Amino acid sequence: MAMSDTAGAVTRTWARVSLLRESPVGMVGAFLVVFWVLVAIFAPVISPFGPNSNDLDALVDPTPNAIHWFGTDMQGRDILARVIWGSRTVLTVAPVAVAIAYAIGSLLGLLAGYYRGWADTVINRISDIILSFPAIVLYIIVIMRFGPSALNIILAVIFIASPQIMRIVRGMTLELREREYVAAAKMRGESALYIMFIEILPNARGPLIVDACLRMGYTTIAIGVLGFLGLGLPPPTPDWGGMVKDSYALMSIFPHMALFPAAAITSLVVGFSLLADGMREISMRD
């Protein structure tokens, strides 16, 4: 029975994804996201230079040219190469952070919504405390306390996103726990863990997939903002937000230094947002 339910959930999920081609908005979003994923994967192949290679001749004229298509930065580093390698940074940190936040938030949300009582009260009060602070303030506090690094950015995202995800999963669990298939599972003598992870969570996947896409966009913005504030990845690691920060003083003279990394951030965030819209359209058809 469990194997059949799981196989059915997987089949339905793939069917929903295949419907994405019927959503023009979703397809544009998927194209942008897949584009950057491919750029990150094949960065060593398509990058014209190393991300930290210096061209001292380019210091005289850093504007875009036939050799450096996106120009160079103040240290003579190729901006196109750094944008390409920077995609690896974003598309490693953001998915890892969001995935772990979803694992923790979903578990807490299921426990709070299914058991209710004191477990619900304790989890909700802790979440209330965390969510009472603006997200950007918490990001800054965590990074300044532990220092800028990929690991600490991931921990900051987990700390901030987990309570938000918990609230979503809890609300859906409170609704789904009253459904007939949950009552049937209880009558069969299934365990609470089985009911939560096999009966409830798969049936909440639609809204959660949409939220995950949006949250990837939010996390991309957060990584860019932290980099711009000097709290992102330590140099010389390619960091889109850090590239905008480094070029801020010369932005009026050489706007290309900030334009290309900012455009990269924007396109990836727009991609996740449009992909979420497409997945939402699919959910509404169910």
pLDDT in tens, 14-40: 555 666 777 788 899 999 999 999 999
Per-residue pLDDT averaged across 151-169, rounded? 94
Residue 279 has pLDDT above 90, yes or no: no
Report the chain's terminal Cα–Cα distance, integer Å.
23
pLDDT at 1: 40
pLDDT at 15: 57
pLDDT tens readout for residues 242-267 = 999 988 888 888 899 999 999 999 99
Peptide bond into 236 cis (omega under 30): yes
DSSP 234: P
- pTM, two decimals, is 0.87
pLDDT at 63: 87
pLDDT at 286: 57
pLDDT at 37: 96
pLDDT tens readout for residues 176-190 = 988 888 889 889 888
Residue 208 has pLDDT above 60, yes or no: yes
pLDDT at 204: 87
State the Cα–Cα distance between residues 81 and 76, nearest whole angstrom.
12
> Mean of the per-residue pLDDT values for the chain?
88
Classify domain 76-285 at the CATH class level.
Answer: mainly alpha
- Domain residue extents for the chain: 76-285
**Residue 24 CB: number of other CB atoms within 10 A?**
11
Per-residue pLDDT averaged across 208-217, rounded? 93
The answer to whether 237 and 1 have CB atoms below 8 angstroms apart is no
The answer to whether 283 and 30 have CB atoms below 8 angstroms apart is no
State the Cα–Cα distance between residues 41 and 154, nearest whole angstrom.
20
pLDDT tens readout for residues 71-124 = 999 888 999 999 999 999 999 999 999 999 999 999 999 999 999 888 889 999
Q: Cα torsion at 203, 209, 212, 217 (round to 10°)?
A: -160
Burial label for 77, CB within 10 Å (0-12, 13-18, 19+), is buried
State the Cα–Cα distance between residues 48 and 186, nearest whole angstrom.
60
